[in-house]
Amino acid sequence: VKIEFKDNGIGIDDARKEIIFQETHMKIKHSKGMGIGLSLVAKLTELYNGKICVENRIKEDYTKGSNFVILIPLEKKKMVLIDD
């Protein structure tokens, strides 16, 4: 399963992309909220053996917003036939 969402906010520079999913990442001055959203999403994604990443919405210009991608593998289910 691929979940992708984009924004056109202030963007995330390359140095911060490495740490934004960590719980210890400090909230930036320009943001609103508690600052736990991305680390929570990263933990939930990890529980499902998935991956999350962030890219520039416009390549080579991080100031034009971000593109977040979550990939979660589908689990193949086994089918069991029961004879009565």
How many domains, in total, are found in the chain?
1
Predicted pLDDT of residue 2 = 96
Question: What local confidence, expressed as pLDDT, does residue 82 receive?
Answer: 78
Q: What is the per-residue pLDDT for 56?
A: 93
Q: In what order do the strands lie in the sheet with 2-6?
A: 2-6, 61-71, 51-58
User: In the prediction, which pLDDT does 33 show?
Assistant: 59
- At which residue do the structure tokens 């508690």 appear? 34
Tell me, what CATH number does 44's domain have? Answer: 3.30.565.10
The confidence score (pLDDT) of residue 26 equals: 56
pLDDT of residue 66: 94
Q: Which residues, given as ranges, of the chain have pLDDT below 50?
A: none
- Helix (H), strand (E), coil (C) string for the chain: CEEEEECCCCCCCHHHHCCCCCCCCCCCCCCCCCCCHHHHHHHHHHHCCCEEEEEEEECCEEEEEEEEEEECCCCCCCCCCCCC
Q: Range of 50's domain?
A: 2-71
Whether 48 is in a domain gets the answer: yes
The pLDDT value given to residue 34: 54
Assigned domain for 35 exists: yes
On whether residue 82 sits in a domain, the answer given is no
